[in-house]
Amino acid sequence: MTNKLTTLIATFIAVAALLAFGGVRAFAASSLFGGASLGLGYVSLVSDGSDNPGNTTNDWSEVSFDDMNGVTFSDLAVLSADFDVTDDSCGGGSPRFQIAIDDDNDTVSDGNIFVYLGPSPSFSGCTGGWQNSGNLIGNEDAGRWDYTQLGGPLGGYSGATASIQNGKILGISIVVDSYWSAAATGGDSEMTTNIDNVVMKKLVGSTYDFEAPATVTVSIVKYVDGVHATAGNASSLSFPIDATWNAVNIGAGAGSFALSTIGFNNPNPYEATTAEMTSGADYSVSEDTSGPNVGASCADNKPFALAGYSTGDTEGAAAGAATSSSAVLAGITTDKFIIVWNETCEDEGTLTLQKTVVTDSGGTATDTDWTLSASGPTPISGVEGNASVTNAVVLAGTYDLSESGPGGYTASDWVCTANGGGPAPTFVQDDGDTITISDGDDITCVITNDDDFVPTPPPSPTACDTPGVAPFGYTLQNGTAGNDNVTIAPFTMFVGFGGYDTVNGPADGNYIVCTGAKTDKITLGNGDFTISAGEGHNNITTGNGNGYIVTGSGNDQVKTGNGTQTIQAGEGYNWILTGDGDKNVTTGSVGDQIYTGAGSDTINAGGGYNKVNSGAGNDTITSGPNNDNIDGGADFDTCNGGGGYDAITNCEA
């Protein structure tokens, strides 16, 4: 032992010095000083001189009582206490009663009477265990009553002088002081004494019997699917429970037990009851979900899932209380019940829906543009990656798979695999959009959407108005400021920058050609076209196809194949030869030669000495004021030669 003296007086949680004890059976109050504290059914007075000079607060201990304050000392009829010296022994004046006396009626203590509790004659060498001091009033053991602080003798009770006998009591204490006797401490400067049942009587006395605090228990009960667990609804399984506690009588700790068909510290199956804990204890439980019987949810594929906890003063109150995710009780003052709620997990599996998008034909949609769904015993719906369709816990059964999303894509069948591609003997994919899930299956289903081919549209007549931007489906190819000689692929937009350019597009396909003010040669294969040749003496040849040609004021040669075409040749001596098809030809005011094939043509030759041969078809031909040679060809033609000496043939109007 260390150098410590302890006196124990009541079963209460320790209180701070100077704080009146609650629950003491008396009309007045008692207070603790120094190293005093309350234990279980006693007050512990600790005197410890071993930790000096760093700590002097527990050099001595005292419990004081004010019940007899104002009573004349000679009227004190009973003074006794139970005590138990636990470390190491008693020695002289420790432990002792200490009575403060006012012998001149000025309400100020003039000294203390010491009454030693140890065995006579040395008041040392106490035996262990609880013992009673007996009534010390009238005790005549030599040296037990010490009146020396008040001018009296060291002797028996009767040695009190008249002034002491007539003095007023200002307080009665029990004190432990290890400095009184080094021998009594065993040489370690520490003493311990336990005290209870302090009795002080006048005519009506006070007895301090410090009762042990009330105890509480907590009962833990398992419920399955809303009712008390039984061997039947719990499948006779055992459910581990972890617990923590903190109580004065048993200390703080943690441990585990199981709720099973055999009760734990409780006669009922699937119930457990704690040991008795001091009132004010803290307690908590949590179910262990790491084992094979119960999981945090049914997604863990275990027979049962934890559904929560509820608490109450009775089992019925706990059963009717709302559940929470934890069971923590603090400052318990009455018996409590905790219900651990479980639910039975039905036959279940998991289902994940995923999307793959192929955009090799210009599509721009992404996986999450589609909503993926499965209808069946547990319907699910959501976009790829969403928790609603990723490892979603579903009941076993048949599911129809579907999707909704943007148009312009062709969907594949759903392709489903089980258990990451591992063995799944019970899994069946019924057809391209139907599956059957069994208990424990983890199924992933993927559907692929491929963007549909969209034909490249014909080039716009105004494509060259924005030469730096290629329309959808076309690739921009820029020339140089010099003379370019290039061969371009179909669906190319070539932009020249003012040189003498030669542009060849021999392969069939659509083209856009935009050149500058100098003489250019443009030769294209079959396909739709837009050509803006600008100024210069241009030579333009195309194959069959619909298109638009515009040139500037130079002398241009334009030859096209069959198709619906618009040709604006501008000023200059132009030579234009087209194939069959409806043509719209406009030239400037200089002499032009225009030859079109079969088709309904609209020809405006402008001023100049023009020669127009429109071929078969219902044509409309207009020329300017000069002398023109117009042949409307077969079918019904409308010709307007304007002014001049015109030669007009085969025109019906």
User: What is the CATH classification number for the domain harbouring 152?
Assistant: 2.60.120
Could you report the per-residue pLDDT of 237-258, keeping only the tens digit for each? 999 999 999 999 899 999 999 9
Question: Which phi and psi angles does 164 have, rounded to 5°?
Answer: -70, -45
Question: What pLDDT, on a 0 to 100 scale, did the predictor assign at position 69?
Answer: 92
> CA 361, CA 525: separation in Å to the nearest integer?
25
> CA 532, CA 538: separation in Å to the nearest integer?
10
In a domain, 539, yes or no: yes
Q: Which domain holds residue 63?
A: 4-208
- pLDDT higher than 70, residue 27: no
Angle at the Cα of 515 from the Cα atoms of 509 and 521, rounded to 5 degrees: 70
User: What is the CATH classification number for the domain harbouring 339?
Assistant: 2.60.40.1140
Is 400 in the same domain as 305?
no
Of the pLDDT bands very low, low, confident and very high (cuts 50, 70, 90), residue 272 is: very high
In a domain, 458, yes or no: no
Q: Which residues contact 18 (CB under 8 A, 6 or more apart)?
A: 31, 32, 33
Q: Which residues contact 163 (CB under 8 A, 6 or more apart)?
A: 103, 104, 150, 151
Query: Count of domains in the chain?
Result: 4
Place of tokens 């010709």: 639
- pLDDT higher than 70, residue 33: yes
Is 527 in the same domain as 439?
no
> CA 273, CA 196: separation in Å to the nearest integer?
32
> CA 392, CA 281: separation in Å to the nearest integer?
42
Is 303 in the same domain as 439?
no
Is 202 in the same domain as 231?
no
Question: What pLDDT, on a 0 to 100 scale, did the predictor assign at position 211?
Answer: 61
- pLDDT higher than 50, residue 26: no
Whole-number Cα distances in Å, 599 to 36, 567, 616: 123, 15, 6
- pLDDT higher than 90, residue 494: yes
Worst-scoring range by mean pLDDT, 102-111, 204-213, 353-362, 511-520?
A: 204-213
Question: What pLDDT, on a 0 to 100 scale, did the predictor assign at position 210?
Answer: 59
- In the chain, the amino acid numbered 639 is C
Question: Which phi and psi angles does 278 have, rounded to 5°?
Answer: -60, 140
Worst-scoring range by mean pLDDT, 94-98, 183-187, 289-293, 303-307?
A: 183-187
In a domain, 456, yes or no: no
456: exposed, middle or buried (Cβ count in 10 Å: 0-12, 13-18, 19+):
middle
Cis bond before residue 53 (omega within 30° of 0): yes
Could you report the per-residue pLDDT of 562-613, keeping only the tens digit for each? 999 999 988 888 899 999 999 999 988 888 899 999 999 999 988 778 899 9
Is 419 in the same domain as 491?
no
Query: Beta 111-116 vs 380-382: how paired, if at all?
Result: unpaired
> CA 449, CA 471: separation in Å to the nearest integer?
26
More confident residue, 421 or 596: 596
Could you report the per-residue pLDDT of 126-149, keeping only the tens digit for each? 888 899 999 999 999 999 999 999
Of the pLDDT bands very low, low, confident and very high (cuts 50, 70, 90), residue 14 is: very low
More confident residue, 186 or 191: 191
Question: Which phi and psi angles does 158 have, rounded to 5°?
Answer: -70, -5
Is 395 in the same domain as 367?
yes
> CA 611, CA 605: separation in Å to the nearest integer?
9
Residue pair 62/47 in contact (Cβ under 8 Å)? The answer is no
Is 200 in the same domain as 81?
yes
Could you report the per-residue pLDDT of 145-169, keeping only the tens digit for each? 999 999 999 999 999 999 999 999 9
Is 256 in the same domain as 308?
yes
Which residue, 419, 451, 483, sits at the end of a domain? 451
Which residue, 276, 310, 344, sits at the end of a domain? 344
More confident residue, 13 or 184: 184
In a domain, 478, yes or no: yes
Q: For the chain, give the mean pLDDT.
A: 87
Of the pLDDT bands very low, low, confident and very high (cuts 50, 70, 90), residue 6 is: very low
Which residue, 189, 208, 227, sits at the end of a domain? 208
Is 332 in the same domain as 374?
no
- pLDDT higher than 60, residue 385: yes
Percent with pLDDT over 70 in the chain? 92
Question: What pLDDT, on a 0 to 100 scale, did the predictor assign at position 572?
Answer: 81
In a domain, 350, yes or no: no
Question: What pLDDT, on a 0 to 100 scale, did the predictor assign at position 217?
Answer: 97
Question: What pLDDT, on a 0 to 100 scale, did the predictor assign at position 228?
Answer: 98
Is 267 in the same domain as 168?
no
Is 521 in the same domain as 561?
yes
Percent with pLDDT over 90 in the chain? 62
In a domain, 349, yes or no: no
Question: What pLDDT, on a 0 to 100 scale, did the predictor assign at position 2?
Answer: 34
> CA 492, CA 480: separation in Å to the nearest integer?
16
Hey, which residues does 47 pair with through a beta bridge? 5, 191
Is 318 in the same domain as 399?
no
Of the pLDDT bands very low, low, confident and very high (cuts 50, 70, 90), residue 425 is: low
In a domain, 278, yes or no: yes
- In the chain, the amino acid numbered 387 is A
pLDDT mean over 72-81: 92
Of the pLDDT bands very low, low, confident and very high (cuts 50, 70, 90), residue 401 is: very high
In a domain, 351, yes or no: no
